[in-house]
Structure 1
C-alpha cells in the first residue's frame, strides 16, 4: 500500500507540474501575442494610409507576404523531404480562406475608420469559440461565453457610434459588414491552422499556405486590380502640370512603397509567429490577446487620421467593454485541455504540435474545483497503480512457475536402480 500511495502522489505531482507548464505556455503565448498585436496595428495603419491616398490594392498587398512565406518555410519543408501530412487541396482551401479574409478586411479601410476595423475584427473571438467547440471539441465554461458576449456588446456599441462620427468613413456600415465577414473567415483560418498543426509541422503549413496563397492572390490581383495599378503608374498619377506632376507622382509612389513595405514586413512577422501562439495558447487566446492592437489603432487615429470626430466617448465605452470581456475571459481559465505538448525546432517532427484529439480532455481546473479534481485524479491514479500491481503479481507467479519448469528440464535424469533391487 505504501508503494501505491507514493506512486499516486508522485503522479499527482507530475500532473501539477504539467498544469504549471501549461500556464507558463499560456503566459508566453499572451506575451508573444502582444508583439503580434503591434504587427497587426502596423498592417492596419499601412492599409488606412493607402486608402487615404486613394490607393485601392487590397489583394496586391498580400501577394509579397505569401511569396515570402513560400520561400522561407516552403524551402525548409522541401529540404526536409518526405510526404505531406495533409493532402495538398487542404492547404489550397486554407490559403483561399486566408486570402479572402485579408482582402475583405483591407478593402474595408476604404469605407470605414481604422479603429472600427480593428475593433470589429474582434468578432473573430466568438466565431473562434464556436468553431473550436464543434471542430476541436474544446469545452468552455459559462464565464467564457459571458466574456465573449461582453466583447460582442462592445462591438455593437461601436457600430452604433458610426452614425454620429464625422470621421467614420464614406460608407461605414458597408465597411463594418466587410470587416465582420473577414473576421469570420479569419476564425475559420485560425481554427483550421490549429487543427492542421496537430499533424503537420509549422514549415509545412506556412510553406503550403504561402505557395497557394501567392498563386491565388496574384491571380485575383491581376483580375480585379489592373485598373488601380494602371492609375497608380500612369504619368499623371501625381496630378497635372509640369514639375508638379513629376514631383507629385514621385511622392505618391514613394508613400505607396513605404506603406507596402511596412504592411508586408508586419504581416510576414505576424503570419510566421501565429502558429507558435496557436500551439501554446490556442486560437481563442490568440484573438483575445490581439485586442490590444485597438490601443495602437486609437493612437494612430488621433495622431494621423483626424481623431474621433465627436464620437470619442462611444469609442471609449466600446473599448472598455471589450477590455472587460478580455479580463473576464482570462479569469475563467484556459479552455485548452491538451497539456502534453513538447517543443521542437523547424528541423524536428511534429513534437511541437498538439494532437487535435487532445482537446476532448477535461480542461485545467479553476480554483473553485481544484480540490475535487485533485481527489478524482488521485483516485484514478490509485486504480491504475492497483491494476499495475495486480498485473505484476500475476507476472511474478507466472515467472515462478516458468522457473520451476526450467529447473526440472535442466535437472539430470535419475540414475537407474541397481540390478536385483526392488
Structure 2
C-alpha cells in the first residue's frame, strides 16, 4: 500500500506541477495577446489579479479569526517585491517573445540559489550550465527579430525580464518560507490584499491615462478576465506544490513552461523558433537536472547527519545513567 500510495502521490505531484506550468504559460500567452492589441497596462493587470486573490482567500482568512504568525509589514515588503517583478514581466511582452521570456524566467532559480548560499562543485556546474543556456537564449533573440514587427525589441525585453527575475527570486524565497513554515492560505490572502492596495495606488499615480486609452471591447474584457482567472489558478496551485514537494519539483515544473511557450508560438503565432533556442533550452534543462539531483543528495546527507546527531544526543543521558549505576 505504501508503494501504491507513493506512486499515486508522485503522479499527483507531476500533474499538479503541469497545472502550475500550463497556467503560467497561459498567463504569458494572454499577456502576449493583450500586448498585441497595443495595451501597455501592467499595473492594471496586476491590480485585478491581486484583487481576485483577496476576494477568494480574504474571507477564508477572516473566518479563521486568528492572530497572524507573520507581521503584516513583512507581507507588505514581500508584496512590493512580488508586484515589482510581476509588472516588469508583463512589461517585457511589449518588446520580446513569449518563448524568450519564459526561458529567461529560469534566471529566477539561479538567483534563488544565490540567496540560499548553498555551494558545491555540482552546483557551480549547474550555475555555469544554466548561464550558458540563458546566454544562448539571448543570442537567439538578437538574430530572430521579426522584420515585419518593428515594435519588438527583443534585447530590451530580455533585459527587463532578467531584472524581473531578481524580484521573483526574493519573492519566491519569502513564499517558500511562508507556505512551508507558516500558513499557505494566509500567504495567498495577504498577498492578494496588500497586492491590490499597492498596485491600486501605483496605477492611480502612473497609469490612469493608459487605462483611459484602452478600448474596453468584449475581447479585451475577456482577455483581462481570462488572465485574472488563470493567475488565480497559478497562485493557488504553486504554493500547494511547494508545500508538498519542495522547490525542486516546482523548478522543474516551471521548466516545462518553455515547452508550452514554444507550442503556442509555433501553432498560434505561426512563428519559427530559432534553432539556438532549442539548444539553449536543452542546456538549461540539463543544468536544472544536475541541480535537482544534487539538491536531493544534499538533503539526504543533511537529514542523515541530523538523525545521527539526534541519536547521539538521545543516547547521552542513558550512558550517563549507566555510568552512575556502575559507580
TM-score (normalised: structure 2): 0.86
CA distance in structure 2 between the partners assigned to 1:126 and 1:335 by the alignment: 19
CA distance in structure 1 between the partners assigned to 2:213 and 2:271 by the alignment: 30
**Which residue of the partner structure matches residue 348 of structure 1?**
none
Structure 2 gaps of 5+ residues are none
**Which residue of the partner structure matches residue 287 of structure 2?**
325
Deviations 1:252-293 (A, max 9, x none): 712212221221111111111222222233345423320100
Tell whether the 8 Å contact from 1:42 to 1:266 is kept in structure 2 after alignment. yes
Q: CA RMSD in A?
A: 3.1
1:154 aligns with 2:133: yes
**SS state at 1:59 partner:** helix
The 5 Å alignment of 1:14-93 reads 29=13, 31-93=15-77
The 3 A distance-change label for structure 1 pair 194 and 295 is same
Tell whether the 8 Å contact from 2:145 to 2:152 is kept in structure 1 after alignment. no
Alpha-carbon distance, 1:78 to partner = 1.5
Alpha-carbon distance, 1:317 to partner = 1.1
CA distance in structure 2 between the partners assigned to 1:45 and 1:174 by the alignment: 19
**Which residue of the partner structure matches residue 188 of structure 2?**
206
1:184 aligns with 2:166: yes
Match of 1:254 among 218, 224, 232: 218
Alpha-carbon distance, 1:329 to partner = 2.3
The 3 A distance-change label for structure 1 pair 335 and 221 is farther
**Which residue of the partner structure matches residue 347 of structure 1?**
none
The 3 A distance-change label for structure 1 pair 377 and 65 is closer
The 5 Å alignment of 1:368-407 reads 381=311, 383-384=312-313, 386-390=315-319
CA distance in structure 1 between the partners assigned to 2:12 and 2:121 by the alignment: 25
Match of 1:117 among 79, 83, 101: 101
**Which residue of the partner structure matches residue 131 of structure 1?**
115
**SS state at 2:96 partner:** coil
CA distance in structure 2 between the partners assigned to 1:300 and 1:379 by the alignment: 51
**Which residue of the partner structure matches residue 171 of structure 1?**
153
Alpha-carbon distance, 1:199 to partner = 4.4
CA distance in structure 2 between the partners assigned to 1:27 and 1:394 by the alignment: 52
Structure 1 gaps of 5+ residues are 1-16, 134-138, 234-251, 340-361, 366-372, 398-422
Tell whether the 8 Å contact from 2:45 to 2:228 is kept in structure 1 after alignment. yes
Tell whether the 8 Å contact from 2:178 to 2:184 is kept in structure 1 after alignment. no
**Which residue of the partner structure matches residue 227 of structure 1?**
209
Alpha-carbon distance, 1:182 to partner = 0.7
CA distance in structure 1 between the partners assigned to 2:36 and 2:244 by the alignment: 37
The 5 Å alignment of 1:305-344 reads 305-308=269-272, 312-334=274-296, 337=299
Tell whether the 8 Å contact from 1:59 to 1:221 is kept in structure 2 after alignment. yes
TM-score (normalised: structure 1): 0.68
Tell whether the 8 Å contact from 1:113 to 1:172 is kept in structure 2 after alignment. yes
**Which residue of the partner structure matches residue 196 of structure 1?**
178
Tell whether the 8 Å contact from 1:153 to 1:321 is kept in structure 2 after alignment. yes
Range moving further from structure 2, 202-211 or 69-78: 69-78
**SS state at 2:40 partner:** coil
Tell whether the 8 Å contact from 1:129 to 1:284 is kept in structure 2 after alignment. no
CA distance in structure 1 between the partners assigned to 2:241 and 2:319 by the alignment: 43
Query: Higher relative contact order at CA 8 Å, sep ≥6: structure 1 or structure 2?
Result: 2
CA distance in structure 1 between the partners assigned to 2:310 and 2:207 by the alignment: 62
1:218 aligns with 2:200: yes
Deviations 1:90-147 (A, max 9, x none): 01111111111110000000011111111111110110111122xxxxx454223322
CA distance in structure 2 between the partners assigned to 1:380 and 1:71 by the alignment: 45
**Which residue of the partner structure matches residue 278 of structure 1?**
242
**SS state at 2:296 partner:** coil
